[in-house]
């Protein structure tokens, strides 16, 4: 996948431009979706990028600064399954991160607490219910609809999907705080 694919997966869930927007990318890795989010939000937006790997965050920082210097970035080395010190957020992106969490409900409850009323959660995941060593706990879009509703999110809808050589397909979905 390239930058345009990442943008396309997020596009329907991010009001853009949103120069006053405050978002987080949890489990951001090298920052492919952080870059897409910065592109969609536009200059002036604030993004909190959280990942356990410090070197990924450093790599990401250089690329975001080079390509989107008007974005207010905050980098945090942390585990997103633990309580984070974040301001009230307009939205959260979780791309290829939730499939590492076995017990998803407590994490989703915590994520919901970070969001403003009508805050948005954009999930990017493999459209499968059984995983492998690299994607241990994926969830199909159908499973996400049920889990999102049980976790206090509403208006869940499929945004986009792209083929993947691993586990067939990747989808993105938008869920809003209910």
For the chain, domains (ranges, CATH) are: 3-9+18-177 (3.40.50.150)
Place of tokens 């927007």: 21
Q: Is the dihedral of CA 70, 45, 47, 95 positive or negative?
A: negative
Measured CA to CA in angstroms, residue 22 lies from 2, 88, 161, 167 at distances of: 24, 8, 25, 32
Q: Half-sphere exposure of residue 61, counting CA atoms within 13 Å on the CB side?
A: 14
How far apart CA 123 and CA 176 sit, in angstroms, is 11
Report field, pTM of the whole predicted structure over 0.85: yes
How far apart CA 112 and CA 98 sit, in angstroms, is 14
Question: pLDDT digit string (tens) for 53-97?
Answer: 999 999 999 999 999 999 999 999 999 999 999 999 999 999 999
Which residues of the chain, if any, have pLDDT below 50?
none
Measured CA to CA in angstroms, residue 146 lies from 25, 49, 175 at distances of: 23, 27, 11
Q: Give the per-residue pLDDT at 88.
A: 98
Q: Which pairing describes strands 89-95 and 115-126: parallel, antiparallel, or unpaired?
A: parallel
């Amino acid at each position: 996948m390239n930058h345009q694919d990442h943008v396309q997966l997020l596009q329907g869930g991010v009001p853009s431009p949103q120069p006053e927007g405050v978002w987080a990318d949890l489990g951001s890795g090298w920052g492919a979706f952080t870059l897409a989010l910065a592109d969609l939000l536009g200059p002036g937006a604030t993004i909190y990028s959280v990942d356990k790997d410090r070197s990924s965050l450093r790599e990401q920082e250089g690329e975001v600064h080079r390509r989107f210097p008007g974005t207010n970035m905050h980098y945090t080395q942390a585990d997103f399954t633990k309580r984070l010190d974040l301001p009230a957020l307009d939205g959260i992106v979780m791309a290829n991160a939730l499939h590492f969490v076995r017990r998803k409900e407590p994490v989703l409850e915590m994520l919901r607490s970070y969001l403003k009323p009508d805050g948005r959660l954009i999930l990017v995941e493999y459209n499968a219910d059984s995983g492998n060593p690299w994607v241990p706990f994926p969830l199909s879009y159908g499973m996400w609809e049920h889990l999102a509703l049980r976790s206090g999110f509403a208006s869940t809808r499929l945004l986009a999907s792209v083929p993947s050589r691993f586990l067939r397909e990747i989808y993105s979905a938008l869920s809003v705080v209910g």
